[in-house]
Amino acid sequence: MSAQKFHDNADRLIDFVQMFIEKNLKKTGNATWECQQAAANAALNNLSATLNATAGDELTDIRQADKVFIELDLAMAEAVIEAVNIATMTGRMSDQSADKAQAATTIITDALVG
């Protein structure tokens, strides 16, 4: 992954975390809420600065990673689930691949239903 792609992905993830905080922390307007918001924003700003300073030679080769992080919109997630279901029903996948594919669709489904 290029440094620019890493930075773009990091920015999107930080935006996602910010949205998660905004949607899930009750907006009371009191001092506790203001402290939570200030602390969360400071942490996200520090994280953003750190990740955006990352150079390409500091990144690992994605093929050496145990996990990958991808962004799917709703239509893509639903299409992946449907494709895996069809592929596993036809028996054209090895049992091991089918098990991994079903596990992936379970993760996607869990994310869709919250």
- The reported pLDDT for the residue numbered 44 is 92
Q: What is the rounded CA–CA span in Å between residue 37 and residue 97?
A: 43
Q: Band of the pLDDT at 114, cuts 50, 70, 90?
A: low
Parse the chain into domains and list their residue ranges: 3-59, 74-113
The token pair that represents 92 in the structure block: 């054209």
Burial, 108: exposed, middle or buried (Cβ in 10 Å; 0-12, 13-18, 19+)? middle
pTM exceeds 0.95? no
Q: Which helix (H) or strand (E) holds 84?
A: helix 74-90
Give the residue, 27 or 68, on which the prediction is more confident: 27
